Structure 1
């Protein structure tokens, strides 16, 4: 008994006709197909099909045999696919994480670098909060991430990409929009909207900026994301401090102005994070091109 006998039998059983099976499914001559079925029945030792002028019908033995024939053919197909997969090397993957929002400025450059050094690798993008990206790096589900320098994570390494200045977010008809820059002293009369501790590194930077200024600003609202911040600025007539990348998402009702203070301008670092002990060749190649990545993302347009 050969596999072709099983395929022929299944085709005839499903078509209910030797002629149709020969023409539609098997592309062979009907007499040849009839002979193959007779050979199969001879080997099995019982009739599998009942022939009449109306076509063919399965006998009780044929119905029992059909179930196992289909199973055997399915197993052969599965074995074939398994062998082919084993013969092909698995395609490498690289998971790149982004603090949500930074894709606008950094994704295009990152993809150019990845295509240069990893042309045959499947790249997956993951957008999350910075603490979630840190956890994903630790778990090995993300290979490298554009994120904040999260503290107390000795197993992670960080490469500085850029320093993002803080800007003041205002309603578009605010009394200060005519100014080129804004001081914190100018904002004491407005409801202040601050990011929550779901962004702990950014919250720490803003808290330090407020403390250093000596200006009596008490947050009126906390927000978990950029969208919520923009909405509250617009709806409460409030103000906020956010990293400059937030300007990519300003609606018409909200504007930004640079923040001025005495001393070093306040800002927050954007870093490329990765796990120290997780350094496969793909990651090393990507890290070797970080300087190119910075040039691509920060050069004037």
Structure 2
């Protein structure tokens, strides 16, 4: 599975063998043929231009990534169980949320675990979920990501999606944006494979209001979305926290009517080695309650 993922990601048996796997290309080719024979279907097509996945190959790739993440998580869990408690604490934030939450959460951590060395990470939600699952992150503010066994998600709040657009866009003069106006614009969105929660919320809203919101451009993160808004003159539906990261050339406007909502959750592992984590989680939830 690891070899297959490497080949799929680089699109070349030669590059995967030489740059990623440190193995001989004939051996790698043989293992790919053996994998296809075991599964009873073709996973990839080979040509002078490189490797392209078949429909079966794309499906297998999604499952293989999840399975290997779970295998890695199992190994990390076993090592954590055998090791003494760590004197460090890793805190993760969905990029942009640290502006609102970091000061309060850091106060709680200093009071609850003053002896611990705290590391703060700013990542995408899927990356944070993978870090939690593997035991690399102790607590994170993120989306309730699917396929993360062993991880608990507790909802902190729900934030609306807003419309990002260039400051000189024709819709920027309005206090709110009508859903029907979005269909005629260039749309920047996220791929379902990279941001499944945000894409599901956006697609659900599109179906509800009867507007085609399929993205013309797909981006992996908010920074890329903002850059494309500027460079293409298009619009993007993004969570409210995106306002924390906007340059002067990009503005946000609320949607007219009932906007789609996306959850912000507190994520942690069920088998965490930190005895103080329950108290920390309880206090962070109180912090949110007090902020309202």
Q: TM exceeds 0.5? A: yes
Counterpart position of 1:214: 210
Match of 2:173 among 175, 178, 181: 178
Distance in 1, matches of 2:267 and 2:213, equals 33
Distance in 1, matches of 2:273 and 2:287, equals 19
TM-score (normalised: structure 2): 0.67
TM-score (normalised: structure 1): 0.65
How many residues matched? 208
- Tell whether 2:267 aligns with 1:273: yes
Compute the RMSD of aligned alpha carbons.
1.9
Post-superposition CA distance 1:270-299 (Å, at most 9, x none): 000011122531212211212332146x45
Post-superposition CA distance 1:28-63 (Å, at most 9, x none): xxxxxxxxxxxxxxxxxxxxxxxxxxxxxxxxxxxx
Instruction: Spell out structure 1 runs of 4+ moving beyond 3 A.
Output: none
The 3 A distance-change label for structure 1 pair 192 and 160 is same
Contact 2:133 2:148 in 1 (8 A): no
Counterpart position of 2:109: 114
Match of 1:226 among 222, 225, 233: 222
SS at structure 1 position matched to 2:212 = coil
Contact 1:205 1:268 in 2 (8 A): yes
How much does 1:244 deviate?
0.4
SS at structure 2 position matched to 1:219 = coil
How much does 1:90 deviate?
8.7
Distance in 1, matches of 2:123 and 2:230, equals 25
The 3 A distance-change label for structure 1 pair 116 and 157 is same
Structure with higher Rg: it is 1
Unpaired runs of 5+ residues, structure 2, are: 1-83
Contact 1:113 1:292 in 2 (8 A): no
1:11-26, aligned counterparts within 5 Å? Answer: none
Match of 2:188 among 180, 184, 193: 193
How much does 1:120 deviate?
2.2
Counterpart position of 2:236: 240
How much does 1:242 deviate?
0.2
How much does 1:142 deviate?
0.8
Distance in 1, matches of 2:85 and 2:220, equals 39
Distance in 1, matches of 2:244 and 2:266, equals 20
The 3 A distance-change label for structure 1 pair 244 and 114 is same
How much does 1:171 deviate?
1.0
Contact 1:167 1:241 in 2 (8 A): yes
The 3 A distance-change label for structure 1 pair 90 and 152 is closer
